[in-house]
Protein backbone atom coordinates (compact mmCIF):
# COMPACT_ATOMS: atom_id res chain seq x y z
CA UNK A 1 0.00 0.00 0.00
CA UNK A 2 1.40 3.41 -0.96
CA UNK A 3 1.93 6.20 1.55
CA UNK A 4 -0.80 8.26 -0.13
CA UNK A 5 -3.30 5.39 0.11
CA UNK A 6 -2.42 4.81 3.75
CA UNK A 7 -2.78 8.53 4.54
CA UNK A 8 -6.12 8.67 2.74
CA UNK A 9 -7.33 5.64 4.67
CA UNK A 10 -6.36 7.21 7.99
CA UNK A 11 -8.15 10.43 7.05
CA UNK A 12 -11.31 8.48 6.21
CA UNK A 13 -11.16 6.67 9.55
CA UNK A 14 -10.62 9.95 11.40
CA UNK A 15 -13.56 11.57 9.59
CA UNK A 16 -15.78 8.60 10.44
CA UNK A 17 -14.73 8.80 14.10
CA UNK A 18 -15.45 12.52 14.18
CA UNK A 19 -18.95 11.99 12.75
CA UNK A 20 -19.55 9.05 15.10
CA UNK A 21 -18.73 11.13 18.18
CA UNK A 22 -20.79 14.03 16.89
CA UNK A 23 -23.78 11.73 16.51
CA UNK A 24 -23.20 10.33 20.00
CA UNK A 25 -22.96 13.88 21.32
CA UNK A 26 -26.42 14.67 19.99
CA UNK A 27 -27.77 11.64 21.83
CA UNK A 28 -25.73 12.51 24.91
CA UNK A 29 -26.99 16.08 25.04
CA UNK A 30 -30.58 14.86 25.05
CA UNK A 31 -29.78 12.38 27.83
CA UNK A 32 -27.99 15.05 29.87
CA UNK A 33 -30.87 17.49 29.48
CA UNK A 34 -33.33 14.80 30.56
CA UNK A 35 -31.21 13.86 33.57
CA UNK A 36 -30.83 17.49 34.59
CA UNK A 37 -34.57 18.07 34.53
CA UNK A 38 -35.16 15.08 36.81
CA UNK A 39 -32.32 15.69 39.28
CA UNK A 40 -33.37 16.56 42.82
CA UNK A 41 -31.40 18.91 45.04
CA UNK A 42 -29.94 17.11 48.05
CA UNK A 43 -27.37 17.99 50.67
CA UNK A 44 -23.95 16.61 49.80
CA UNK A 45 -20.94 15.78 51.92
CA UNK A 46 -17.60 17.03 50.65
CA UNK A 47 -15.31 14.23 49.46
CA UNK A 48 -11.60 14.75 48.95
CA UNK A 49 -11.17 12.83 45.72
CA UNK A 50 -7.43 13.51 45.43
CA UNK A 51 -7.99 14.71 41.88
CA UNK A 52 -4.37 15.85 41.38
CA UNK A 53 -3.07 12.35 42.14
CA UNK A 54 -5.77 10.97 39.86
CA UNK A 55 -4.63 13.23 37.05
CA UNK A 56 -1.02 12.07 37.48
CA UNK A 57 -2.16 8.45 37.15
CA UNK A 58 -4.29 9.24 34.10
CA UNK A 59 -1.37 11.00 32.43
CA UNK A 60 0.92 8.02 33.12
CA UNK A 61 -1.70 5.63 31.77
CA UNK A 62 -2.44 7.36 28.46
CA UNK A 63 -0.81 10.75 27.85
CA UNK A 64 2.86 10.61 28.87
CA UNK A 65 5.49 10.16 26.12
CA UNK A 66 5.76 6.47 27.12
CA UNK A 67 2.31 5.68 28.53
CA UNK A 68 1.35 2.47 30.28
CA UNK A 69 -1.29 1.77 27.61
CA UNK A 70 -0.28 2.08 23.95
CA UNK A 71 -2.14 3.77 21.09
CA UNK A 72 -4.00 0.58 20.16
CA UNK A 73 -5.48 0.27 23.66
CA UNK A 74 -6.18 4.02 23.70
CA UNK A 75 -8.10 3.66 20.43
CA UNK A 76 -10.18 0.82 21.83
CA UNK A 77 -11.01 2.53 25.11
CA UNK A 78 -11.56 6.07 23.82
CA UNK A 79 -13.05 5.03 20.46
CA UNK A 80 -10.58 7.31 18.67
CA UNK A 81 -6.91 7.76 17.90
CA UNK A 82 -4.80 9.74 20.43
CA UNK A 83 -4.14 12.52 17.90
CA UNK A 84 -7.87 12.92 17.34
CA UNK A 85 -8.46 13.17 21.10
CA UNK A 86 -5.82 15.89 21.39
CA UNK A 87 -7.31 17.78 18.47
CA UNK A 88 -10.76 17.78 20.06
CA UNK A 89 -9.30 18.72 23.44
CA UNK A 90 -7.39 21.64 21.96
CA UNK A 91 -10.45 22.90 20.09
CA UNK A 92 -12.66 22.64 23.17
CA UNK A 93 -10.20 24.36 25.52
CA UNK A 94 -9.94 27.25 23.05
CA UNK A 95 -13.72 27.40 22.67
CA UNK A 96 -14.67 26.91 26.33
CA UNK A 97 -12.19 28.08 29.02
CA UNK A 98 -14.01 26.02 31.67
CA UNK A 99 -12.22 22.95 30.27
CA UNK A 100 -8.76 24.45 30.85
CA UNK A 101 -6.59 23.56 33.84
CA UNK A 102 -6.82 26.37 36.40
CA UNK A 103 -6.90 27.06 40.12
CA UNK A 104 -10.01 27.55 42.22
CA UNK A 105 -10.60 30.25 44.82
CA UNK A 106 -8.60 28.26 47.37
CA UNK A 107 -5.63 27.95 45.05
CA UNK A 108 -6.25 24.25 44.35
CA UNK A 109 -5.77 22.89 40.85
CA UNK A 110 -8.98 22.09 39.02
CA UNK A 111 -9.69 18.95 37.06
CA UNK A 112 -7.47 18.73 34.00
CA UNK A 113 -8.85 18.79 30.44
CA UNK A 114 -7.77 15.14 30.11
CA UNK A 115 -9.80 14.16 33.19
CA UNK A 116 -12.88 16.01 32.02
CA UNK A 117 -12.80 14.65 28.49
CA UNK A 118 -11.95 11.13 29.63
CA UNK A 119 -14.98 11.04 31.92
CA UNK A 120 -17.40 12.56 29.42
CA UNK A 121 -16.15 10.58 26.42
CA UNK A 122 -16.38 7.28 28.27
CA UNK A 123 -19.97 8.09 29.06
CA UNK A 124 -20.49 8.51 25.31
CA UNK A 125 -18.44 5.46 24.32
CA UNK A 126 -19.69 2.99 26.92
CA UNK A 127 -22.72 4.54 28.59
CA UNK A 128 -20.77 4.22 31.85
CA UNK A 129 -22.60 5.34 35.02
CA UNK A 130 -21.21 8.32 36.88
CA UNK A 131 -20.38 6.25 39.99
CA UNK A 132 -18.12 3.96 37.97
CA UNK A 133 -16.31 6.89 36.36
CA UNK A 134 -15.94 8.65 39.71
CA UNK A 135 -13.66 5.83 40.85
CA UNK A 136 -11.23 6.46 37.96
CA UNK A 137 -11.45 10.14 36.97
CA UNK A 138 -12.53 11.31 40.46
CA UNK A 139 -15.43 13.47 39.36
CA UNK A 140 -18.68 13.70 41.29
CA UNK A 141 -22.00 13.07 39.57
CA UNK A 142 -23.08 16.69 39.22
CA UNK A 143 -19.63 17.77 37.98
CA UNK A 144 -19.42 14.93 35.49
CA UNK A 145 -22.92 15.56 34.14
CA UNK A 146 -22.13 19.26 33.71
CA UNK A 147 -18.89 18.45 31.86
CA UNK A 148 -20.77 15.87 29.78
CA UNK A 149 -23.40 18.43 28.76
CA UNK A 150 -20.76 21.04 27.92
CA UNK A 151 -18.74 18.54 25.87
CA UNK A 152 -21.79 17.59 23.81
CA UNK A 153 -22.74 21.22 23.22
CA UNK A 154 -19.21 22.24 22.29
CA UNK A 155 -18.71 19.38 19.84
CA UNK A 156 -22.01 20.16 18.15
CA UNK A 157 -21.22 23.88 17.99
CA UNK A 158 -17.68 23.34 16.68
CA UNK A 159 -18.26 20.54 14.19
CA UNK A 160 -21.99 20.52 13.51
CA UNK A 161 -21.78 22.86 10.52
CA UNK A 162 -19.39 20.41 8.85
CA UNK A 163 -20.77 17.04 9.87
CA UNK A 164 -24.50 17.61 10.38
CA UNK A 165 -25.26 19.66 7.28
CA UNK A 166 -26.66 18.29 4.04
CA UNK A 167 -23.89 17.16 1.66
CA UNK A 168 -22.84 19.54 -1.11
CA UNK A 169 -22.31 18.35 -4.70
CA UNK A 170 -18.57 18.20 -3.96
CA UNK A 171 -19.23 16.08 -0.85
CA UNK A 172 -21.41 13.71 -2.86
CA UNK A 173 -18.71 13.23 -5.48
CA UNK A 174 -16.21 12.31 -2.74
CA UNK A 175 -18.66 9.92 -1.06
CA UNK A 176 -19.58 8.25 -4.35
CA UNK A 177 -15.90 7.87 -5.27
CA UNK A 178 -15.07 6.27 -1.91
CA UNK A 179 -18.04 3.90 -2.15
CA UNK A 180 -17.11 2.91 -5.69
CA UNK A 181 -13.54 2.03 -4.65
CA UNK A 182 -14.99 -0.20 -1.93
CA UNK A 183 -17.28 -2.03 -4.32
CA UNK A 184 -20.50 -0.10 -3.69
CA UNK A 185 -21.03 2.14 -6.74
CA UNK A 186 -23.85 4.63 -6.36
CA UNK A 187 -23.95 4.47 -2.53
CA UNK A 188 -23.49 7.65 -0.48
CA UNK A 189 -23.83 6.04 2.95
CA UNK A 190 -24.82 2.86 4.76
CA UNK A 191 -28.44 3.16 5.81
CA UNK A 192 -28.10 0.20 8.18
CA UNK A 193 -25.23 1.89 10.04
CA UNK A 194 -26.24 5.54 9.76
CA UNK A 195 -29.96 5.10 10.51
CA UNK A 196 -31.03 7.55 7.84
CA UNK A 197 -34.66 7.71 6.79
CA UNK A 198 -34.86 7.04 3.06
CA UNK A 199 -37.99 8.42 1.45
CA UNK A 200 -39.11 8.48 -2.19
CA UNK A 201 -36.63 5.83 -3.30
CA UNK A 202 -36.99 5.14 -7.05
CA UNK A 203 -38.76 1.82 -7.41
CA UNK A 204 -36.14 0.59 -9.88
CA UNK A 205 -33.44 0.95 -7.19
CA UNK A 206 -35.28 -0.86 -4.41
CA UNK A 207 -33.61 -4.27 -4.71
CA UNK A 208 -30.21 -2.82 -5.56
CA UNK A 209 -29.88 0.00 -2.99
CA UNK A 210 -32.14 -0.91 -0.07
Tens digits of residue pLDDT in 99-112? 998 887 777 778 89
The answer to pTM > 0.75 is: no
Q: CA 91 to CA 21: how far, in whole Å?
A: 15
Per the CB < 8 A criterion, the answer to whether 58 and 118 are in contact is: yes
Percent of the chain with pLDDT over 90: 26
- Among 7-11, 73-77, 120-124, 140-144, the range with the most confident prediction by mean pLDDT is 73-77
Q: CA 152 to CA 143: how far, in whole Å?
A: 14
Task: Provide the CB-side half-sphere exposure for 136 (13 A, CA).
Answer: 18
Q: CA 201 to CA 207: how far, in whole Å?
A: 11
pLDDT at position 41 over 50: no
Q: What is the pLDDT of residues 170-182, one digit of tens each?
A: 888 888 898 888 8
Classify each residue of 63-82 as buried b or exposed e, where b means 16 or more C-beta atoms within 10 Å of its C-beta.
Answer: beeebeeeeeebbebbbbbe
Confidence at 47, pLDDT banded by 50, 70, 90? low
- Packed helices 130-137 and 113-126: angle between N→C axes, nearest 10 degrees: 150
Amino acid sequence: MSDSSSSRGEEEIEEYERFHHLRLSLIGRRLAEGSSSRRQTTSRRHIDRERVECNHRLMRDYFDPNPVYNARIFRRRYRMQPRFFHRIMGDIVRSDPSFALRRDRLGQLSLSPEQKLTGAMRMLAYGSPTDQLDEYVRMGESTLMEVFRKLCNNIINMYGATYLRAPTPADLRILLSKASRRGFPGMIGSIDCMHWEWRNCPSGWTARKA
